[in-house]
Amino acid sequence: MKSIAFLIALITGFLASAAQADGDVIVLEVTGGIGAATAEYVISGIEHAESSDARLVIIEMDTPGGLVSSTRDIVQEILSSTVPVATYVTPEGARADSAGTYILLASHLAVMAPTTHLGAATPVSLGGDDSTPAFPPQPPGEDDEESAENGEPDGTAPQPGTAMERKVLNDAIAYIRGLAERHGRNAD
């Protein structure tokens, strides 16, 4: 509870000049996989914040990832929100993997507790077929170093797989790069 009070004080101070309304801070907890129910919860929370003249929405997050469609719905709501959204990866040891990385980068303010991490944002199919893509975390492979050494002539890693897999991967790369650049974050 001390950490959330500190975070609210920090963010409120940061946004003091931009926030004119005397409203509340809305805190949304997102734990576990990102799916349709999570998207509905976050979108409803942001809409409530807007309609109640809240000063800030804080998304407390610990997620291994989730569905692309639900993630995009959440990201679009954050990007269009008239209330600043801060995503806080918490508690210590939590993660914003995969879908969580996109949500964190879309937020107006990205905050992480000590020993938390983000990443592993490569989309994969659920069930190993061409079904709905998801953003679950992928453990590092033994061939990662070798693949980097044997990369494309431009220095990038080769992109194995079908044309559709490469297309999905390139779309994800462009999407996350755009989100990072929107808020002046390191896109590399």
Number of structural domains the chain divides into:
1
Residue 36 lies in a domain: yes
Mean pLDDT (whole number) for 102-109: 96
Residue 188 lies in a domain: no
Under the banding of pLDDT at 50, 70 and 90, the label for residue 20 is very low
Contact 101, 68 (CB under 8 A): no
Residue 99 lies in a domain: yes
**Residue 1: partners with Cβ closer than 8 Å, 6 or more residues away:** none
Residue 54 CA to residue 23 CA, distance in Å, equals: 4
Classify 133 as helix, strand or coil: strand
Residue 12 lies in a domain: yes
Stated as kind and residue range, the H or E segment containing 85 is strand 85-89
> Which pLDDT score is estimated for 75?
97
> Which pLDDT score is estimated for 171?
85
Ranking 90-99, 114-123, 148-157, 161-170 by mean pLDDT, the lowest is 148-157
> Which pLDDT score is estimated for 140?
42
CA distances from 8 to 3, 52, 84, 88 (A): 9, 18, 13, 10
CATH number at residue 115: 3.90.226.10
Residue 44 lies in a domain: yes
Cα angle: 143, vertex 32, 70; to 5 degrees: 85
> Which pLDDT score is estimated for 170?
85
Residue 50 lies in a domain: yes
Mean pLDDT (whole number) for 31-40: 97
Residue 66 DSSP symbol = B
Residue 74 lies in a domain: yes
Classify 64 as helix, strand or coil: coil
Mean pLDDT (whole number) for 47-74: 96
* Host domain of residue 8: 2-182
> Which pLDDT score is estimated for 99?
94
Residue 174 DSSP symbol = H
Under the banding of pLDDT at 50, 70 and 90, the label for residue 148 is very low
Any bridge partners for residue 27, and if so which?
Answer: 58
Residue 160 lies in a domain: yes
Any bridge partners for residue 7, and if so which?
Answer: none
Under the banding of pLDDT at 50, 70 and 90, the label for residue 35 is very high
Q: Does 136 have pLDDT greater than 60?
A: no
Residue 47 CA to residue 162 CA, distance in Å, equals: 40
Of 63, 62, 39, 67, nearest to 126 (Cα)? 67
Q: Residue ranges of the alpha helices (H) in 29-98?
A: 36-51, 68-80
Contact 45, 73 (CB under 8 A): no
